[in-house]
Amino acid sequence: MGYLTVKWLHVMSSTLLFGTGLGIAFFMWKAHRTGDARVIAATARTVVRADACFTAPAVLVQFASGLWLAHRLSMPLSVFWLKWALVLFFFVGACWLPVLWLQVRAHRLARAAAERGAPLPAGYHRAMGWWYALAWPAFAGVAAIFWLMVVKPAG
């Protein structure tokens, strides 16, 4: 693959990563605000699938294409902006991996409540509290990575 093709894949995967993450967060938040276990279960099921189909592959393409581009340009990973982009990438991943588990947990708890016609359990609310707490720093990290990729500050 040529440089411009890989660069295009890198930009597209970063866009997909941010856009899917923002969409998932929006729809989970809207469903959560209804308090309706059926709505939450259906939305969370879709969110989990979207993360598997779009976010996870975008993360892999983003990482692989970024390393390939740096190697192709003979750019050491110690370059200020690139080093911090990688630090943030792993920070975002450290937030995102628990979020995946929390989404699955929220889905299961909401589905079980909906099947029983019961209110959402305390475990659901704890899971969503952690989900929100981890989502904000992850989004800030992704936004900072975008800024680093565009501005490329020398440090």
Model confidence pLDDT, tens digit, residues 24-71: 999 999 999 999 999 999 999 999 999 999 999 999 999 999 999 999
Which pLDDT band holds residue 12 (cuts at 50, 70, 90)? very high
- Torsion-angle region of 149 (φ positive above 0: left; ψ -120 to 50: alpha; else: beta): alpha
Can you tell me the mean pLDDT for 74-85? 97
C-alpha 76, offset from chain centre? 26
Can you tell me the mean pLDDT for 93-117? 96
Ramachandran angles phi, psi of 152, nearest 5°: 50, 60
22 pLDDT above the threshold of 90: yes
Residue 53 pLDDT: 95
Residue 155 pLDDT: 78
Residue 81 pLDDT: 97
CA end-to-end span of the chain, whole Å?
31
pLDDT tens digit string along 88-103?
999 999 999 999 999 9
Q: What range does the domain containing 13 cover? A: 3-151
Residue 1 pLDDT: 84
Can you tell me the mean pLDDT for 67-84? 97
Does the predicted model carry a pTM greater than 0.95? no
The CB-based long-range contact list for 126-129 (8 Å cut-off, 24+ gap) reads 127/102, 128/32, 128/102
Residue 59 pLDDT: 95
